[in-house]
Structure 1
Amino acid sequence: MFSESMRRKLFYNTIMSQCFSSDGSCLLAGSLYGNVAIYEIAKILRPLRSENELRRPSYHIEAHPDSHVDSMVSTENFLVTGSIGEICGWDWKSVTTGKAERSKVSWTIRVPAENDSYEGPCVFSLAYCKVNNLLYAGCNDGKIYVFNLEDGKVVTTLEGHTRFIHDLSLLDCGTQLASGSEDGTVRLWDLRKKENTNVLTPHLVDNLHRPSLGEWIGAVDFTEDWLLCGGGSKLSLWHMRTMQPATVFDLPDHGIHVAKIYEERIIAAGLAPHVYHLTYQGEMLSSIPTSSDTIYSVVYQETPQKLFSIGGASNFLDICTNCNYRELTLRFA
């Protein structure tokens, strides 16, 4: 149970990151106050016994008690969390059982710090490639650190951004990486050559730039054919071959923090109390109202249970089992 002081904090809670367990049985959410909530999906989807019953987590982990859980990713054996100066791994066998509240971190990687920095950079985004067991960490020092999870050592560091890296996207084959930064650029990386191959600057495109919101890129996703990005600049879809914008999305947002290419649709969210589902051409398919005025995280899985989870600047997660409406709401605590 949380202390009274923590309960007061949760009134102002923010869900920073989410992921699913490797077997798809659990949903996990990381908070501004360093806690991870674990929800057993089979339980949260059961019918409520009464209208007053609240769906809460089965367990909690105090992952980063003095910081926040800025990023999160799932590997076959571990929940991986990123915070200020460190990346931690938590064994799924303990996380997804009744031992979760007593579970101890399995391993910790210290992120390299500058000479004048005591804490080390904040890990804003994580991406994992199971093909080679490499973990990519986008940090607020503008660098992407590549770790080998066999020994926790830095394989290489990708440099080019000049400010915070807000988001990373990795192709399944692990050959290309995209990164979006506070510096207003999206960079594409050839991971075989370990070099930057393209730089996009959406704010320099007249119909994308929103001067009142700034140049920053808050979210990026890509496939072999398309690249999606947004932030202070409008959400836009780019041709990978020509590196030119194909669609500019007209959304009532004040900044984009989530941009996903999902099947044949686009999912977007940010500083607005909705998650938007759109066609590649910009047609609105659905606008799902949310418990948070600002959305920082949207995750989804297809099996064993199709599920979308939406988290942001509140103590609640919104759950959808299709792309058209919100089915239920979970409390973080």
Structure 2
Amino acid sequence: MVNLNDSGDLANKSVTRSEAIKQYYATILCQTFSHDGKYLIASLKSGKLALFGISRIFDSHENQPCSDKSIYQPSISIQAHKDAIYGLTGNKSLILTGGKGEIKCWKWSDLVNQNTIESQWSITLAHGDSILRPEINSLVLCGNDETDELLLAGCGNNKIYGYDLESNQPRLTLDGHTDYINCLAYSKQSNILFSGSEDGSVCLWDLRIGKTVNTIEPYKHNELNRPFGKWIGSIALDNSSEWMVCGGGPHLSSWHLRSLSRGVVFESSSCDVTSQVALIHNDYVVSGGSSSQVSTWSLNGKIFSEIPCEPFHVYSIAIHEKDQKSLMAIGGSSYKINICTNFKYNDFHLEVF
């Protein structure tokens, strides 16, 4: 016979176990906002895509405090890949996802209107010398101000592949890193691609000739060294492409791109935090990684805020300007996504299930 107290204890244990299962299976690896900021899409370690109606949530908040928990959950969730989705990017009309050896293209309108859950097209990468297809760790779109023409994929086989976005046919292969490529960033001003790798280097590629024009190796600077690796896990450019920040095994640091000289080292209250994702937004550097907080600094290295968040390891940050406010989504090792309307505290959180 179970008394009421025992029943309560069992219920609490059940809730705790349920939370633990959610935490384990719902790691959020990437996020991006729609061009108009009305939607947020997140990719999961389980291979799912989760789409949230951000504008619907804010409209509800403006009217009155919302008790309908369903609005914080995905309006649609689909099994997009069999395995984890490591790369995610998009433009006004398309969403591109990258998993293990496979890139898929989706339409925003299809997912928003729930017309279909089928991708528009897919690309399967060749095995090459390995028995396994490479992980696609980062995706970026390249082109002019009007049209994205080229999709670039940084992969676990140390290579970068370029595909024509209209025909989805191969256009180029960039080969120069000696270890996994973790992150990519693209400068429209110079048509230069930046790639960060486990080998500790950031390569600068001139896409017109398909070759590296410079290499930055932060780990060779004593003030950037960490005892647990030289890898580069994050890269970001400012709007002018005058400055870059990068971090990972080395400390997060800024670099002046015309002179290739190091700027400042960005330090948080926890010296052991490594940067898994970084962004430059307006006059701020934003970064998250191996802790349950996101840090923001001014470009001169002065700490602005440290925002506590649900994930105990942050893998993705997405930022969108909404009504002259910066809307930030934070995701990682949790089924919850923190939403902030400034760089100081959390407003509410979404749940992927």
Query: What TM-score results when the alignment is normalised by the length of structure 1?
Result: 0.91
Q: State the partner residue of 1:175.
A: 191
CA distance in 2, matches of 1:107, 1:7: 36
Q: State the partner residue of 2:15.
A: none
Q: State the partner residue of 1:129.
A: 142
Paired residues of 1:219 and 1:259 also in contact (CA < 8 A) = yes
Q: State the partner residue of 1:315.
A: 335
CA distance in 1, matches of 2:163, 2:19: 36
SS of aligned partner of 1:302: strand
Q: Does 1:103 align with 2:117?
A: yes
Aligned residue among 74, 89, 94 for 2:90: 74
Measured after TM superposition, the shift of residue 54 of structure 1 is 6.9
Paired residues of 2:86 and 2:99 also in contact (CA < 8 A) = yes
Q: State the partner residue of 1:266.
A: 285
Measured after TM superposition, the shift of residue 9 of structure 1 is 5.1
Q: State the partner residue of 1:113.
A: 127
- Paired amino acid for 2:236: D
Measured after TM superposition, the shift of residue 44 of structure 1 is 2.3
Cα RMSD (Å): 2.0
CA distance in 2, matches of 1:22, 1:172: 18
- Paired amino acid for 1:114: G
Q: State the partner residue of 1:21.
A: 34
CA distance in 2, matches of 1:54, 1:293: 24
Q: State the partner residue of 2:22.
A: 10
Change (3 A) 1:157 1:52: closer
What are the residue-to-residue correspondences of 1:159-170 with 2, within 5 Å?
159-170=175-186
The CA deviation string for residues 205-258 of structure 1, in whole angstroms up to 9 with x for no partner, is: 1010002x2111000112432111000100111111221211011222431101
SS of aligned partner of 1:127: strand
- Paired amino acid for 1:33: S
Q: State the partner residue of 2:53.
A: 40
Q: Does 1:242 align with 2:259?
A: yes
Paired residues of 2:56 and 2:71 also in contact (CA < 8 A) = no
Task: Give aligned pairs, total.
Answer: 323
Measured after TM superposition, the shift of residue 194 of structure 1 is 1.6
Seq. identity, %? 33
SS of aligned partner of 1:269: strand
Q: State the partner residue of 1:275.
A: 294
Measured after TM superposition, the shift of residue 296 of structure 1 is 0.5
Measured after TM superposition, the shift of residue 21 of structure 1 is 2.1
Change (3 A) 1:228 1:96: same
Q: Which runs of 5+ in 2 are unaligned?
A: 1-17
- Paired amino acid for 1:128: L
Measured after TM superposition, the shift of residue 11 of structure 1 is 3.2
Paired residues of 1:37 and 1:60 also in contact (CA < 8 A) = yes
Q: Which runs of 5+ in 1 are unaligned?
A: 1-5
Q: State the partner residue of 1:3.
A: none
Query: What TM-score results when the alignment is normalised by the length of structure 2?
Result: 0.86
Q: Greater helix share, 1 or 2?
A: 2
